[in-house]
Amino acid sequence: MMSDGDTPESLGHLLHGTARAWRQKLDERLKPMGLSQAKWRTLMHLSIAQEALTQAEIAARLGVEEPTVVTLLHRLEREAWITRTNSPYDRRCKMVLLGRRAQRVISQINATANKLRHELLAGIPDSDLQTCMRVLTRIRERAEEGERHQSITRQASPRVFVEQNGQTKPRHSIPRKSAISRRDGGD
Q: Which residue, among 26, 10, 8, 12, has the nearest Cα to 118 in the 3D structure?
A: 26
C-beta atoms surrounding 41 within 10 Å? 21
Helix (H, G, I), strand (E, B) or coil at 169: strand
87: alpha, beta or left? (left if phi > 0; alpha if psi -120 to 50): beta
CA pair distance 119, 29, nearest whole angstrom: 13
pLDDT in tens, 137-147: 999 999 888 66
How far is it, in rounded angstroms, from Cα 97 to Cα 51? 8
Give the containing element (helix H, strand E) for 85.
strand 82-86
Domain ranges in the chain with CATH number 1.10.10.10? 14-122
Cα separation, 82 vs 75, whole angstroms: 9
Dist. CA 100–CA 81, nearest whole Å = 7
- Segment 9-26, tens digit of pLDDT: 788 899 999 999 999 999
Distances (CA, A) of 23 to 11, 96, 145: 18, 23, 26
- The pLDDT-based confidence of 3 (bands split at 50, 70, 90) is low
Picking from 73, 113, 121, 122, the residue whose alpha carbon sits closest to that of residue 93 is 73
CA neighbor of 62 nearest in space, from 30, 36, 93: 36
pLDDT tens string 55-90 = 999 999 999 998 889 999 999 999 999 999 988 888
24-61: per-residue pLDDT in tens? 999 999 999 888 889 999 999 999 998 899 999 999 99
Identify the CATH class of 14-122. Answer: mainly alpha
